[in-house]
Amino acid sequence: MSYVRLPLPDTKVNAAISMATEQHLEQAHHLLAATYPGDGPFNHFGTSAAVMTLLAIAAASAIQHFDPKVNKKRGGDRLAFTDCMLRFFPWDHVTVADDQHRPKNELPKLAADELYDVFRNPLVHSGGVTGKSHLSGIIAKWHRTPKIAHVFPGLSPQDNERVIEDYCNATLSGDRLIELEAFSSTVHTRPLYWCTRKMILAFAADANVQSDIAKNLGI
């Protein structure tokens, strides 16, 4: 079964969005279904799938502010990434588990920050090597280890691909996206992938995004 392309209207701006993001989404799609020889619960590509999905978010957040000077003025890479998630991620369809039980309306920002600080930056820039724990008096500032939860279909390669294809067209309702904990945080690969696809569709449908990309790319 093949990768399920995003149903974006055929425009030049959407072609640019697709070019920037779908190369990562397509790899994530196949990695979610793939396995490698051997026995055990970790013989899968869940971490690789999560990294490619995070790169799709990063690409979408960057393309709106393609001019480096404009991006710098807006607060740089971190703000672009977290702001894109806060604005366009389908937060109503997933849950964020927080061991500190903070108010529900704060969880999207906490999750977006966590995905950048604990997953996107460490996994992409330093391969998950993030240094030793720093136990300050503020729990929110403790170092946390990125962990990946990957539910592998466990079928034949063709059936695995079909499961992921069907998942793209499903509607999530309360699926666990991420768990925020004191010493580690865990992201769930398939909800992250599903949410990222929905985020990019909402991103591409936004008039300000379309205008910014058209201006910055000279379309």
Tokens in use for 103?
Answer: 């108010």
pLDDT at 157: 75
Please give the pLDDT value at position 135.
47
57 contacts: CB under 8 Å, gap ≥ 6: 81, 84, 85, 115, 120, 196, 199
Q: How are the residues of the chain apportioned to helix, strand and coil, as percentages rounded to the nearest 5? A: 60, 10, 30
pLDDT along the chain (219 residues), means of 10: 90 97 96 75 80 95 76 72 96 96 96 90 59 50 75 77 91 95 90 98 97 90
Q: Which of 74, 117, 96, 69 is nearest to 195 (CA)?
A: 96
pLDDT at 1: 58
**Dihedral-angle region of residue 129 (phi above 0 means left; psi in -120 to 50 means alpha; beta otherwise):** beta
In this prediction, residue 72 carries a pLDDT of: 58
Query: What is the reported pLDDT for 130?
Result: 55
